Structure 1
Amino acid sequence: MTLPRLPLFVAALSLLALSAPASAEDVSGHQYVMDLGAGVMAQPRYPGSDETIFVPYPLIAVSKFFVPGYGQIDAENDTRNFAIYPSFNYIGKRNSADSNELKGLKDVDWALEAGIGLSARYDWIRGFVEVRQGFNGYSGQVAQFGLDVIASPTEDLEVRFGPRAGWGSQSYMDTYFGINASEAAASPLYDQAYHADAGFNTVGLAGSATYNLTDDWKLHALVGWDRLVGDAGNSPIVEEGSVNQYYAGTGLTYRFAFDLF
């Protein structure tokens, strides 16, 4: 399963562009196979927060599709592949009234991140990078890097686990981890401004599992931990909250298979 940057880490996690364990229906010869569903995620209230909130999130996975003039692409059953896929993330509004640590700081409006992901899999190992542009709440860029070990303990269960790293542009970093002079003057906690430069802001681990309940229904689970580093980890906002960011989620998807050509 994207989703990080928190919150909401969700869409990057939920846009599975990863494959689930193959089911019997996959041999039907359909040109397109996708899994659609929804779940719930427990995650920090805002980047650097030590409070947890629960949020809904979508689950979308396209594992088999046909490209006219090129042919069939079967990312699910081909364990040696290269994939290009869309990557999205939604970050909820940060309201200064939500936490004592935010008093005096400006509200940060919700942000939508949209971009592209690239992945390469060779048998039991998969690496990926996702780059997204922020809109509304901030106007910079973020990137996430990951490496997964893939195992199938049973025919119906697939497990993935590996390290993660996140990067943010100056606009992203200053929006969520910086404090300007007027905010420092208004805050009862922060007595000076803090500027956060572009750079790597998280390192961590993530694990996910997908289980075939039936040929069509799948159960998904995700757990992860990110540690804020660099200018993000040194931010006074994070010092009042937590450098350790934990998240966990679960959801259900239903499989659709169809032909267009």
Structure 2
Amino acid sequence: MMNRLGFSFVAAVLALTAGSAAAEEQKSERQYVIDLGAGLMAQPRYPGSDETILVPYPLIAVGRFYVPGIGDAGGSDSTRRLSVYPSFNFIGKREASDSDELEGMEDVDWSLEVGLGVAYRYNWLRGFVELRQGFNGYSGQVADFGLDVIATPTEDLTLTLGPRAGWGSDDYMKTYFGISAAEAAESPIYDKSYDAGAGFNTAGLAATANYKLTDTVTLRMLGGWNRLIGDAGDSPIVEEGSENQFYGGAGLTYRFEFDVFD
């Protein structure tokens, strides 16, 4: 899935879906099994940029998620199961000083995305969709879609690979890919405004590798490529940067298992 941090971050969202495969390999009777950690990610400076920066990012993998009256709704020890899990993402502030291509553009404040994901796994295949609401920097919605092939070459190693697609609402697209008349008047690069409307904005591939170092500590690696499409790909901001967005990172998580309800 893609990624939208401070620019184009995937972090927590990727870990929530890709990380759950490893969690499923370890059965637990606890109501909540959550892997928390952090890592470093190499990613575009901002959506559409051709510059790469290194940033810290959080890792969250949900193995089991108990909902009173329903039971285990996320993760699960079963390889044939529908699961529901929380989905979060953080997009850092984009400033005109970040790049020459943004000169004259208004700064975009940081955004927090909060929502839910639904996934279905059948043996070695898993599909998912995540929908999140944006707050602060923009007030629209985004959705991520994906399909993973899951392989476990060894007891401790889980690999995933699959296609990704991303969708954004009007407000999201205008915020990160649009150019207002006032910005065009101030910019030395863009001579006219650009209206980016709602629609699919990315298509690509993502891969993860999770290796259990101990029963509680897991090394997590991820990488991928996204192609900006639709109004995002046609944006003058992207034309000055790059339609191809690559990212890769690695980090460690620690597993927490606990009960909340009697």
**TM score, norm. by length of structure 2:** 0.92
Q: Which amino acid aligns with 1:162?
A: G
- Deviation at 1:21? 3.0
Which is further off, 54-63 or 189-198? 54-63
Q: Which amino acid aligns with 2:133?
A: Q
- Deviation at 1:20? 4.1
Q: Which amino acid aligns with 1:107?
A: D
Matched, 1:103 2:103: yes
* Residue aligning to 2:258: 258
- Deviation at 1:66? 4.4
The change in CA–CA distance for 1:162 and 1:27 in structure 2 (over 3 A counts) is: closer
Contact 2:76 2:83 (8 Å CA) reproduced: no
* Residue aligning to 2:134: 134
Contact 2:36 2:59 (8 Å CA) reproduced: yes
- Deviation at 1:4? 1.5
Cα distance in 2 between the residues matched to 1:173 and 1:249: 26
* Residue aligning to 1:157: 157
Contact 1:15 1:88 (8 Å CA) reproduced: no
Unaligned runs of 5+ in 1: none
* Residue aligning to 1:89: 89
The change in CA–CA distance for 1:116 and 1:259 in structure 2 (over 3 A counts) is: closer
Q: Which amino acid aligns with 1:126?
A: R
- Deviation at 1:18? 4.1
CA RMSD of aligned residues (A): 2.0
Cα distance in 1 between the residues matched to 2:12 and 2:28: 30
Contact 1:83 1:118 (8 Å CA) reproduced: yes
How much identity, in percent, do the aligned residues show?
64
Contact 1:144 1:165 (8 Å CA) reproduced: yes
**TM score, norm. by length of structure 1:** 0.92
Cα distance in 2 between the residues matched to 1:142 and 1:66: 26
- What secondary structure, in the 3-state scheme, does the structure 2 residue paired with 1:78 have? coil
Contact 2:168 2:199 (8 Å CA) reproduced: yes
Q: Which amino acid aligns with 1:9?
A: V
> Which deviations, in whole Å up to 9, do the C-alpha atoms of 1:171-230 show, x marking residues without a partner?
111111111111111111111111111111000000011101111111000001000001
Cα distance in 1 between the residues matched to 2:127 and 2:146: 6
Contact 2:147 2:163 (8 Å CA) reproduced: yes
* Residue aligning to 2:3: 4
- Deviation at 1:68? 4.7
Cα distance in 2 between the residues matched to 1:93 and 1:70: 39
The change in CA–CA distance for 1:154 and 1:49 in structure 2 (over 3 A counts) is: same
* Residue aligning to 2:32: 32
Cα distance in 2 between the residues matched to 1:64 and 1:140: 29
Moved over 6 A (4+): none
- Deviation at 1:113? 0.8
